[in-house]
Structure 1
Amino acid sequence: MRALLWLHRWTGGIVGILMAIIGLSGTVLLWEDAWIMLPGADEPAMNDPVALGFVIERALEAGPDLSRITFAGEEIGLHQAIYADGGGAYLALDGTVVERWDGMWERPELWLFDLHHYLFMGDAGKIVTGVLGFLLLGFSITGLILWWRTRKTFTFRLWPVRFTKSAIVRHHRDLGVVASPLLIVAAFTGAVMVFPAVAAWLLSPLAGEKAESPLPDDLAAVDARTDWRRVMTSAQAIYPGAEARRIMLLGEPGAPIAIRYRQSFEWTPNGRSYVWVAPDTAEVVAVEDPATSDTASAITEKFYPIHAAKVGGLVWRTAMTFAGLALVLLGLLASWSFWFILKTRG
């Protein structure tokens, strides 16, 4: 038990600040829809393929090399366009540009997302956040084991009664045990999204055979002749009752246009129902329907909406907010007490 305590304390002291950063940025992102207060942000979204085709045309006019558009939905009534040069725009439902930016740093939701997922370090940072997820899983489990010996002294408090070694340790222990079930969920779902091979291994008994058909690579390129209204209408016919969520334009030369839909049974906000359309003829060339997928894929699809509180309504979002703020306190006080109080007082 002494070795477990030593490992828990030293590892927490070293990565506590990073845990607090992940917790705080994630908590702010949970309420993203409440603080993006641009004109039209609270408008009810529409799902008319002709109107969406018009929006795509306006987005192409707003900037070169349109990469993708995430269409307005339940959370925000604005379409978000992202361009290959790193810029972007929010468009109202009628296609009017209400906000334009040239880089990530001009929009807080963009740099907060990058901080939470990549720590501003690109793919290397993503690996770090995945490792932090597994470490948090370990902290939560070992913390429960270590707490059990002192369970009779449990007192829940949001803030230490004093900033002394014993008071901070007791606060850390008791707050951690309350937040640990939620932190385990957040840590596991976050880590396996970064390392999908782990999820694939865990869920392998539930996985079925998946035959992937190659997409055509000899189609005409997207150009001024592409009829976006026909493209969206053709794609919508595959999933008549589904919600169009995202269109992706910049693929390999000769590749089709990819459009994501969200069917009623899907938890993921942007869905995982794909339609690929030829740019010149608006003909559907491929489809991927999660309704025909195996149990493992159905479970994997739930990781992100659970992690980001995109399901469960206000109750789950509030619970994950508590978990995020608890992680901030646990991480900051663990590092501060380790490097200052414990160092100076033994």
Structure 2
Amino acid sequence: MRTLSLLHRWIGAIGGLLLALLGLTGTLLVWRDELTFVAHADDPARSNAAAVARVVERLADGPAPVDRITFAGDGLGVHQAIFADGSGAYLSQSGEIVARWTASWQRPELWLFDLHHRLLMGDTGEIVTGIAGLIGLGFVVTGIILWWRVRRRFRPRVWPATMKPGAIVHHHRDIGVVTAPLLIVSLVTGVLMVFPALGGSLIAEARARPPQVQAASSTVARRDPAPLFAAALKRFPHAELRRLQWPRKAGAPLILRLRQSFEWTPNGRTFVYADPVTLAIVGTADPATGGTAASIREKLYPIHAAKTGGILWKLALSLTGLALTLLGSLAVYSFWRTRWAAARARRRKRSV
């Protein structure tokens, strides 16, 4: 047990701040839509395919090549356009540009997402966050084991009684065991999004690949997308348009994402693939016909990011993120304060 305690404390002292960072940024991202301060953000979403088509056509005719556009929805009443050079814009549902940026760091909600998801380090950062999630799960399990020995001292507090190491340790143990179930849910869903193979065949089932098209380049023809939207909604009559992704290389299709009523993911996992030249549909992917693995995988992000469950789940995950922030930051503070105090005592003893 002593070895387990040492491992728990030393690894926490090294990685605690990273977990605290993920907890704090995750808490803020739970309220990402509410913290997107831009004109028309609170407008109710209007399910008007013709109006959406006009906005898309206007953007496609602009000077900057478009990478993707995410359409206004229940959480955010503006369209979000991302251009091929990394810049972007928010547009009202009537097509008026209400905000522009040349880099993601100019928009706090985009910068926070990249910090939480990739630590501003691209794919390498994503792997690091996944490893941090695994370490966090290890902390939860070992923390429960270590707490069990002193369970009679259980006195849950929002904040330590004092900022002395002993009081911080007691607070750390008690708040950790109280929030352990929610921490496990948050950490497991985050880890499985980064490392789906850890879920075994139940999660890591091979995904369907988009069909190839006979296109000499990735350029999308300047056509009215209204017929494409109408054809997609005819195939999925109860779905809503959520995102249009331009092809990023020759031979790739134009991808239209829709969300059906049974889907938890805000942007849906219903895909319609179209030829970028003719805008004719060349394939679809319907999650209603997918297997168990696809159904479980589709729910990981909405659970992790509180995109389902309403206000109660948002509040629960917010408290969980704040708890993780306290657990990580105060553990680092307490550990190194104790070490520094012990080092000072040894120096004084030698100087006497």
**Fold shared by both chains (TM-score > 0.5):** yes
Structure (1 or 2) with the larger CA radius of gyration: 2
- Give yes or no for contact 1:164–1:341 (8 Å, CA) kept in 2: no
Partner of 1:218: 214
Q: Take 2:124 and 2:142, find their aligned partners in 1: how far apart are those partners? A: 27
Give 3-state SS (helix, strand or coil) of 1:33's partner. Answer: coil
Q: Take 1:37 and 1:203, find their aligned partners in 2: how far apart are those partners? A: 36
Q: Take 1:311 and 1:341, find their aligned partners in 2: how far apart are those partners? A: 42
Matched, 1:264 2:261: yes
Distance 1:166 1:315, change over 3 A: same
- Give yes or no for contact 2:274–2:282 (8 Å, CA) kept in 1: yes
- Deviation, 1:141, is 1.0
Q: Take 2:219 and 2:234, find their aligned partners in 1: how far apart are those partners? A: 21
Partner of 2:58: 58
- Deviation, 1:338, is 1.3
Q: Take 1:25 and 1:212, find their aligned partners in 2: how far apart are those partners? A: 32
Q: Take 2:189 and 2:221, find their aligned partners in 1: how far apart are those partners? A: 42
- Give yes or no for contact 2:202–2:292 (8 Å, CA) kept in 1: no
- Deviation, 1:163, is 1.1
- Give yes or no for contact 1:23–1:325 (8 Å, CA) kept in 2: yes
Partner of 2:187: 187
- Deviation, 1:240, is 1.2
Q: 1:308 pairs with 302, 305, 308, which one?
A: 305
Distance 1:270 1:288, change over 3 A: same
Distance 1:131 1:64, change over 3 A: same
The more displaced of 276-285 and 139-148 is 276-285
CA offset digits 1:205-253 (Å, max 9, x no partner): xx6xx79476133137544532222222222222111011111003321
Give 3-state SS (helix, strand or coil) of 1:301's partner. Answer: helix
> TM-score normalised to the size of structure 2?
0.93
Partner of 1:252: 249
The more displaced of 40-49 and 59-68 is 59-68
Map of 1:101-116 to 2, 5 A cutoff?
101-116=101-116
Map of 1:1-346 to 2, 5 A cutoff?
1-201=1-201, 203=203, 212=208, 215-219=211-215, 222-223=219-220, 225-345=222-342
- Deviation, 1:38, is 1.4
Q: Which amino acid aligns with 1:56?
A: V
- Deviation, 1:47, is 2.2
Count how many residue pairs are aligned between Structure 1 and Structure 2. Answer: 342
- Give yes or no for contact 1:64–1:83 (8 Å, CA) kept in 2: yes
Give the unaligned 5+ runs of structure 2: 344-352
Q: Take 1:214 and 1:172, find their aligned partners in 2: how far apart are those partners? A: 48
CA offset digits 1:243-274 (Å, max 9, x no partner): 11111003321322101111111111111000
- Deviation, 1:165, is 1.5
Q: Which amino acid aligns with 1:218?
A: Q
Aligned-pair Cα RMSD in Å = 1.8
Give 3-state SS (helix, strand or coil) of 1:302's partner. Answer: helix
Give 3-state SS (helix, strand or coil) of 2:261's partner. Answer: coil
- Give yes or no for contact 1:244–1:260 (8 Å, CA) kept in 2: yes
> TM-score normalised to the size of structure 1?
0.94
Sequence identity (%): 50
Q: Which amino acid aligns with 1:219?
A: A
Q: Take 1:344 and 1:211, find their aligned partners in 2: how far apart are those partners? A: 54
Q: Which amino acid aligns with 1:9?
A: R
- Deviation, 1:309, is 0.5
CA offset digits 1:93-148 (Å, max 9, x no partner): 01110001100111001110010011111111110000001111111111111111
- Give yes or no for contact 2:210–2:273 (8 Å, CA) kept in 1: no
Give the unaligned 5+ runs of structure 1: none
Which consecutive aligned stretches of 4+ in structure 1 deviate over 3 angstroms post-superposition?
200-204, 210-214, 219-225
The more displaced of 214-223 and 231-240 is 214-223
- Give yes or no for contact 2:17–2:332 (8 Å, CA) kept in 1: yes
The more displaced of 163-172 and 280-289 is 280-289
Q: Take 2:207 and 2:267, find their aligned partners in 1: how far apart are those partners? A: 23
Distance 1:62 1:21, change over 3 A: farther
Q: Take 2:293 and 2:28, find their aligned partners in 1: how far apart are those partners? A: 30
Q: Take 1:53 and 1:63, find their aligned partners in 2: how far apart are those partners? A: 18
CA offset digits 1:28-77 (Å, max 9, x no partner): 11111222221111111122221111111232345512000111111100
Q: Take 1:123 and 1:90, find their aligned partners in 2: how far apart are those partners? A: 26
Q: Which amino acid aligns with 2:50?
A: V
